[in-house]
Chains A and B, each alone.
Chain A
Amino acid sequence: DIQMTQSPSSLSASLGERVSLTCRASQDIGASLNWLQQEPDGTIKRLIYATSSLDSGVPKRFSGSRSGSDYSLTISSLESEDFVDYYCLQFANSPFTFGSGTKLEIK
């Protein structure tokens, strides 16, 4: 199975700050990676698909990129509603696997 190592597990940041979250894939997954956002009530929303494509309606402060086996989600300027949980997901090979999550906390 492909392991997705997500870091950090938690991040404390301030409003307006720029932050980056990372997932490292244990095998080549090409561009087959999504970023998900989870609200405290459990609602899950896809933000980024295929590594770097922004979903419709998602604010442009969110972006995705890749460097080798490292995949990043960057939020350019944090807003209050961004302080929730984030997960990566690889769908290159079955079983599809998730990162362990990043909890974004307000400083």
Chain B
Amino acid sequence: QVQMKQSGPGLVQPSQSLSITCTVSGFSLTTYGVNWVRQSPGKGLEWLGVIWSGGSTDYNAAFISRLNITKDNSKSQVFFKMNSLQADDTAIYYCVSNFYWYFDVWGAGTTVTVSS
């Protein structure tokens, strides 16, 4: 079955970057896309971006200047990188598959705190 396993740091210094890896199983990244979503107490759930099966990306315009999503199909890994983090980027970050329709299987989430 489809699984989304996330790995990444829990603490990021202000102005630094956040990198999270999502390792997928149960489907191929060459066929299906992966979204990134975050949840914070102040802003609720926010869609950040998606990498499609062909490798193209779509980003939420609010984050386009500091967000980069890439992947390695052979390793079944998707890489999320957001730059210039501030305190209001403190949130839980999720990767989510588009295997069966959209947003079907969610990773467990990576809790990220931006603090010095």
Residues of A within 8 A of B (CB): 32, 34, 36, 42-46, 49-50, 53, 55, 87, 89, 91, 94-98, 100-101
B105 and chain A: residue at smallest CB distance: A46
* Contact A42 B109, beta carbon cutoff 8 Å: yes
B12 to chain A, nearest CB (A): 18
**Contact residues on B (Cβ < 8 Å of other chain), bracket:** 20 to 34
Known: A94-B58, A95-B61. A45 touches B46 (CB 8 A): no
Instruction: Give the contacting residue for A100; candidates B44, B62, B108; CB below 8 A.
Output: B44
Instruction: Give the contacting residue for A46; candidates B39, B103, B108; CB below 8 A.
Output: B103
Contacts of B100 in A (CB 8 A): 49
Which A-B residue pairs are the 4 nearest by beta carbons? A98-B45, A96-B47, A44-B106, A91-B102
* Contact B104 A46, beta carbon cutoff 8 Å: yes
A105 to chain B, nearest CB (A): 18
Contacts of B60 in A (CB 8 A): 94-95
Complex interface bits, B90-116 against A, C-beta within 8 A gives 1, otherwise 0:
001010000011111110110100000
